Structure 1
C-alpha cells in the first residue's frame, strides 16, 4: 500500500486549539500520562506545547527556525576539484526551492521541521520517490513516530496515523533530522533538560498574571470589631473582589463600614524580587537554545552598541545556526540524493542581506581582487547583466608583486654583484 493512500486516511483531530490532545489509542493514552508527569519543582507540567507559551522559548524557536527557513538551499554538482555548478534541472531543486509538497512553501516546511528539532529533538518527513527521484517531502508528526535500530543496524520507523493505525516505514522512505543525540538514533530536546527552568518561568508568569488580575495589590486582612453574619461576609467579599479587579478602581479609595480596619498580610511582588527572578529564567532559557540574550530582548547586562552585540551575533551564526545548517545539509545528502557528485548547500551569503554595509564591502573586495566580475555581483543582487556587455571582465588584483611584463621606459632590474 502506497504512502499517499494511508496518508489520506480518516482525519481524527488529535490536537485541540487549547493545546490539549484527544486520545485515540492505548499508546496515546500512555504518552499523555507520561507528559502529565513531566512536572518539575515548580509543579508545572512542561511539554513542547506548553513550553511555547513561555516568551523566551517562543522567541528562541522563532529566531532559529526563521533563520533556517529564510536561507535558500541549493542543489549543486561537483564537476572537478575546482568547479561547482548549480543543478536546477533536478527535481530535488524544485522540491527544496519551489514546492516540497502540495500545501507548503519551502520556508514553511523548513520552519516547521526546524521547530520540531528544537522542541522535540527530531523532525521527520515522508520521502516520495518516483523513478529513483524525490518528488515530494511530506512532514510527519514526531509525537507519533517510533524509531528502532535493528540487529543489522538499519533503522525501522513506525508511524501512527491519526485514525490509530500503525504503518511501518523503511529507512529510505524517511527524511530524519536529528538534533543533539545520545544514542546516535534519535535526538533529545532542549525542553527535556530545561524543564526546571521553563517550569519556573511558567510558574512566575502564572503568579504575575494572578497578581495583576487582582490589580497588583497585596493581600490584606480585614478586622471587624464585632461579628459578621453569613450574608454580611459574602457581601463584603464580593464588594472587595469587585474593587480589586479591573483597572477602573485603580487609585480610588476603599470605603470600610462598621469600624472595620485593614492590615497588610503579604509581601509585594517587588519585595519577593519576582521581576529579577524572571530575568534569570529568561537568560537561562536563551543559554539552553544557544541564542544570545540580546536577540530575545535581554540587553540589561550587555552593551546595546559596539562590538559586544556584534560579536554575540557572530557567535550565534558560527556556533548555533551553523550547527543546524550542517545537520540539514548532511541529512539531505544522505537521504535525498542518489546522483554521484551532487550535494546540497545553504546559501549563507543570504545572512548578510539585511546588512548593506557588510555586503557592499564584501563585493568591493571581491571585485578588486578579481574574484567576482560585475555581472556576477549583479546576479547575486538579482539584477540583470550590464547592458554594455562589459560586466564579464575580471579586474586585475591591486597587488602586482612578481609581475614580469615591463612597459616601455621601465628601468632594467639592477644586476646582481659579481
Structure 2
C-alpha cells in the first residue's frame, strides 16, 4: 500500500513521502492538491513555517497583542453613552472563560494564529437558553468551509475518529481573513510558501555548513601529485580536525610538504548571507510587521521618533485590521440580531499608542485643562479607582472660553483660512 501511494503521488506532484513515519499533518498536506509545495519541493506547513524565526515572531507578536489587549462587551445606553454590559452572560465568554480548558488569552491567541496562517479560524458555539456560553475551537485542517447553492454556509468538521458533522453559520464563530470568494479566507501559508521555503532551505544549508565546518576559506596545496592512499589519509585527517563547530580553531597538522592558503569569502557566499537577511524583511512584509519588531534593523536608520512612528503605523494599518475583524465577527456570531443596535464587542488599543511617561502626563494635563478629561476619566485610564468627592467628575472650562484666564501658548491648533 505504501509503495502504491508513493508511486501514485510521485507521478502527481513529483514528490514522495514515507507514509509509515510521516506525521498526520505531513500526510494531510501531502494528500492536498500541492498548493503548499514550493518550487524547491518543500511542503510548507504551519509546523515548519513556525521554525522560521521571522515567521514565528510575526505570528507571536500579532496573536499575542490580540490576546492580551483589553476587550469588553459594551452596551449602548444612548447615541453617545456606552457602558460595559455588566451582568450580561456573553461578557464572561472572552473576559473570564471561553471553554472548560482555555483562558481568554489562550483562546484568542490560538484563533488569531489560525486565521493568520490558514486564513480561517472556527469555533463551535455552546448555547444555553438561546445565549452563547462557550466556544470550542476547531483546527482549520479539520474544517471544510463551503457555500451551498442557496448561499447558506456549511462547515463540515471531521473528528479525530474520522466521523463528520455539519454545522451552519448559526452554530459557529468564524474569523475570516482576506478573502476572494467572500466565505473562506486565503491561506497565508500557500501565498508565502516560496519565501518560507527559501528561509527553511537557507537554514538547512547553514546547518550543513556548520556541521561540515564553515564556508570554504582554506585550500591545501601539495608540491607533488598525491597517491590515493595519501590523499584519503589527508582528507580524513582534515575532516576529523576541522569538521563541526566543536573543532573550530584546532591546529591542523600537514604532512609531505603540504601547505595552507587562505581564501577570501566569495561573492556567492556573501549572496547566501544576504539572501537569508532579505528573507526576514520579506516575511515581515507578508504579515505587516515593522522589521525592527522582529530584530531586523540592519537596513533601517529610523531610530528615535522614527521607531515610534513605525509602531503607530503597525497599530493603525496592521493590528486595527485584525481587531475590526474580531469585533464584527463576534457581533455577527455571538450577539442576537435583536441586540445588534444595543451591544458591541470592543477592543481598547489606546494603551498601545501611549508615549513615554512625560508625554502621557502632558496629554492628561492638556486634556484636563481643555475640559476633555475629568480627574476620574484620567484615573480610569490609569486603572485607578475614582475620587470619592464631587470634584472628581468636574470638567474644566477651556481657557479660551474663560474670561478670567490669561492667554497661553497651549491653545489648540487653529485652522488656516488662507488659501
**TM-score under structure 2 normalisation?**
0.82
Give the whole-Å Cα distance in 2 for the aligned partners of 1:44 and 1:82.
55
Contact 1:217 / 1:244 at 8 angstroms: preserved in 2?
no
The secondary structure found in structure 1 opposite 2:154 is strand
Contact 2:215 / 2:269 at 8 angstroms: preserved in 1?
no
Q: Is 2:135 the partner of 1:133?
A: no
Contact 1:352 / 1:359 at 8 angstroms: preserved in 2?
no
Give the whole-Å Cα distance in 2 for the aligned partners of 1:248 and 1:269.
27
Q: Is 2:87 the partner of 1:86?
A: no
Give the whole-Å Cα distance in 2 for the aligned partners of 1:296 and 1:53.
14
Shift of residue 259, structure 1, vs aligned partner: 5.3
Match for residue 277 of structure 2 among 276, 279, 285:
279
Aligned residues: 379
Shift of residue 363, structure 1, vs aligned partner: 2.4
Shift of residue 236, structure 1, vs aligned partner: 5.0
Gap runs ≥5 in structure 2: 1-20, 405-419
**What aligned pairs does 1:58-77 form with structure 2 within 5 A after superposition?**
58-77=56-75
Q: What corresponds to 1:115 in structure 2?
A: 113
Q: What corresponds to 1:407 in structure 2?
A: none
Shift of residue 154, structure 1, vs aligned partner: 1.0
Match for residue 169 of structure 2 among 171, 179, 184:
171
Q: What corresponds to 2:347 in structure 1?
A: 346
Assess, with a 3 A threshold, how the Cα gap between structure 1 residues 38 and 190 changes in structure 2: closer, same or farther. Answer: closer
Shift of residue 65, structure 1, vs aligned partner: 0.9
Q: Is 2:200 the partner of 1:227?
A: no
Assess, with a 3 A threshold, how the Cα gap between structure 1 residues 307 and 350 changes in structure 2: closer, same or farther. Answer: closer
Greater CA drift, 208-217 or 117-126: 208-217
Shift of residue 82, structure 1, vs aligned partner: 1.7
Q: Deviations over 1:304-347 (max 9, x none)?
A: 42332222211111111110000000001100001521111111
Give the whole-Å Cα distance in 2 for the aligned partners of 1:265 and 1:381.
61
Q: What corresponds to 1:400 in structure 2?
A: 401
The secondary structure found in structure 1 opposite 2:136 is strand
Contact 2:62 / 2:319 at 8 angstroms: preserved in 1?
yes
Q: Deviations over 1:237-286 (max 9, x none)?
A: 54333212344533333223355567889965874422211221111111
Greater CA drift, 273-282 or 344-353: 344-353
Q: What corresponds to 1:382 in structure 2?
A: 383
Contact 1:302 / 1:308 at 8 angstroms: preserved in 2?
no
The secondary structure found in structure 2 opposite 1:167 is strand
The secondary structure found in structure 1 opposite 2:178 is coil
Give the whole-Å Cα distance in 2 for the aligned partners of 1:358 and 1:192.
43
Assess, with a 3 A threshold, how the Cα gap between structure 1 residues 34 and 242 changes in structure 2: closer, same or farther. Answer: farther
Assess, with a 3 A threshold, how the Cα gap between structure 1 residues 284 and 261 changes in structure 2: closer, same or farther. Answer: same
Greater CA drift, 341-350 or 115-124: 341-350
Q: What corresponds to 1:373 in structure 2?
A: 374
Shift of residue 402, structure 1, vs aligned partner: 9.2
Give the whole-Å Cα distance in 2 for the aligned partners of 1:334 and 1:48.
28
Shift of residue 29, structure 1, vs aligned partner: 4.8
Give the whole-Å Cα distance in 1 for the aligned partners of 2:321 and 2:157.
27
Q: Deviations over 1:126-169 (max 9, x none)?
A: 11111111111111100110011112211011111111111111
Cα RMSD of the aligned pairs, angstroms, is 2.8
Match for residue 290 of structure 1 among 288, 291, 296:
288
The secondary structure found in structure 1 opposite 2:92 is helix
The secondary structure found in structure 1 opposite 2:254 is coil
Greater CA drift, 290-299 or 318-327: 290-299
**TM-score under structure 1 normalisation?**
0.82
Shift of residue 170, structure 1, vs aligned partner: 1.9
Contact 1:88 / 1:94 at 8 angstroms: preserved in 2?
no
Contact 2:36 / 2:189 at 8 angstroms: preserved in 1?
no
Q: What corresponds to 2:312 in structure 1?
A: 314
Q: Deviations over 1:345-366 (max 9, x none)?
A: 1112232467434433332233
Assess, with a 3 A threshold, how the Cα gap between structure 1 residues 259 and 228 changes in structure 2: closer, same or farther. Answer: farther
The secondary structure found in structure 2 opposite 1:156 is strand
Give the whole-Å Cα distance in 1 for the aligned partners of 2:303 and 2:29.
47
Assess, with a 3 A threshold, how the Cα gap between structure 1 residues 136 and 361 changes in structure 2: closer, same or farther. Answer: farther
Q: What corresponds to 2:43 in structure 1?
A: 45
